[in-house]
Amino acid sequence: MKLTFTRVLQWTVVVFIVVLVVAEALVYVPPLKESQTVSVTFQSSPGKVSIQSTLWSSFTGTYRQAVDWINGTSSVRTLYYFYDSHYGVSYSNIVSWYGVPLYLSLLMSSRDLPISVVVVNATELATVLTNSSTAVGSLLVVASGAFPSTVYTSTTDFVKPWLEEGGRLVWIGDAIGYYSALPGQALSDTNVNPGIPGVVSLLGLRNFSSPPAYPNPTPVSSAINLDWLTDALPRYGLNVSEVVANHGVVEGNLLDGSTNAALVRVGSGAILDIASPLTYGIEQRFAVAIVNMIQLGLLFPSTGFVSVASQVVSGGSSVTWSATATPGVPGTGNSWSVCAFTQQVDLGALFGSSSCQSGYPAP
């Protein structure tokens, strides 16, 4: 087989990322895999649920705990990740685009999560999105900043119907729905691009802003370890008022009434739109945030956030968190769970443990 320059470059990128991930695994996994224990108790009483968590660590680290309500029907069984080097990217780094799913797989393994990470190319993505049975229980991650033309153009949209059936999408990069990427071609404002109407159609939002950065973390961004993300696109900051009016959830940082990350409802599904570039060196951070969102249930609009707090644990010692969650009005159905999620926010942030108690009315 004759190796072209493009093929050699692709293999070079693959080898580089694999070496990088293996190196980090060797550094982080041994001390983390069996070196923390978490015990959580839930005590129900009239009008409240008291949660107490105790974490022991064999080494010094910084840990964060979040408590929230999760609808009992919310779950992710399969994570689809779109990657196809034949298609262009926008506000996304080609090396980072390839590297994110490797970190996702590492996190699923280190946290013992029964979630399959499946990388799909442009053709396979079309197969996923045109099969409505894949919508419920699936999460699609697109970190290229541009949909491939196999699923989204100015005249074709396989994305929105899939979301309306219950699919979940995490988007990273340029404005979602603006570009349609053609194989082997640079992105351009051709007639295949939906442009601004595509952004409005998918998000259901009509007002956007462009502050240079978002310096003000929200409790939710802290809970999923996304509070470090102050970068923003030069356009298309998400309007907080419109997100809330659409029964969405602000999950990023704030500035002047806009945010750089928000969950927006689309039919029975939702889009977590991260309006920020995927730049080199932050692949792991995005992967950690995505897995944290899954464990906290924050990829579903039917989630009620309670609290978040951080503590430093000295090696060989333990810390305790306490929180109180208030259920809703009896008679609304007992399909909700109250959950406590504990994660490490330094040393690679591979550790994350979630405990829940079910059988409560909606908060």
Tell me the mean pLDDT in the region 354-362. Answer: 93
Same domain? 137 vs 84 = yes
Tell me which residue of 192, 231, 268, 291 sits closest to 92, measured CA to CA: 231
Q: What band does 301 get if pLDDT is binned at 50, 70 and 90?
A: confident
| Strands 180-181 vs 147-148: parallel, antiparallel or unpaired | parallel
Q: What band does 347 get if pLDDT is binned at 50, 70 and 90?
A: low
Tell me which residue of 307, 302, 335, 331 sits closest to 321, measured CA to CA: 307
158: Cα separation from own chain's centroid = 21
Same domain? 64 vs 82 = no
Counted domains in the chain? 2
Same domain? 269 vs 135 = yes
pLDDT of 239 above 70: yes
* pLDDT tens digits for range 68-92: 999 877 789 999 999 999 999 999 9
Q: What band does 157 get if pLDDT is binned at 50, 70 and 90?
A: very high
Q: Are 194 and 238 in contact (CB under 8 A)?
A: no
Last residue of a domain, one of 257, 277, 296: 296
pLDDT of 33 above 70: no
35-44, 231-240, 256-265: range with lowest mean pLDDT: 231-240
Last residue of a domain, one of 258, 275, 296: 296
Domain that holds residue 229: 75-296
Tell me the mean pLDDT in the region 338-347. Answer: 92
Order the strands of the 36-45 sheet from edge to edge.
Answer: 36-45, 48-57, 317-325
- In this structure, the chain runs to a length of 363
Does 93 map to a domain? yes
Does 3 map to a domain? no
Same domain? 92 vs 183 = yes
Tell me the mean pLDDT in the region 100-128. Answer: 96
CATH number at residue 327: 2.60.40.150
Tell me the mean pLDDT in the region 206-213. Answer: 85
The percent of residues above 70 in pLDDT, for the chain, comes to: 90
Does 14 map to a domain? no
- What pLDDT, on the 0 to 100 scale, is given for residue 17? 52
Same domain? 49 vs 157 = no
- What pLDDT, on the 0 to 100 scale, is given for residue 41? 98
- What pLDDT, on the 0 to 100 scale, is given for residue 188? 85
Same domain? 240 vs 177 = yes
Q: Which of 97-106, 200-209, 273-282, 300-309 has maximum average pLDDT?
A: 97-106
Same domain? 219 vs 88 = yes
Q: Which residue has the tokens 């009008």?
A: 47
Same domain? 55 vs 155 = no
pLDDT of 341 above 90: yes
Burial bucket for residue 209 (CB in 10 Å: 0-12, 13-18, 19+) = middle
Does 13 map to a domain? no
Tell me the mean pLDDT in the region 228-236. Answer: 89
Q: In terms of pLDDT, which residue wins out, 261 or 6?
A: 261
CATH number at residue 173: 3.40.50
Which amino acid is present at 272? Answer: L
Q: In terms of pLDDT, which residue wins out, 5 or 42?
A: 42
Same domain? 61 vs 88 = no
Does 103 map to a domain? yes
Q: What band does 22 get if pLDDT is binned at 50, 70 and 90?
A: very low
Does 40 map to a domain? yes
* pLDDT tens digits for range 102-111: 999 999 999 9
Same domain? 182 vs 206 = yes
Same domain? 328 vs 265 = no
Last residue of a domain, one of 250, 273, 296: 296
Same domain? 147 vs 201 = yes
Does 226 map to a domain? yes
- What pLDDT, on the 0 to 100 scale, is given for residue 21? 47
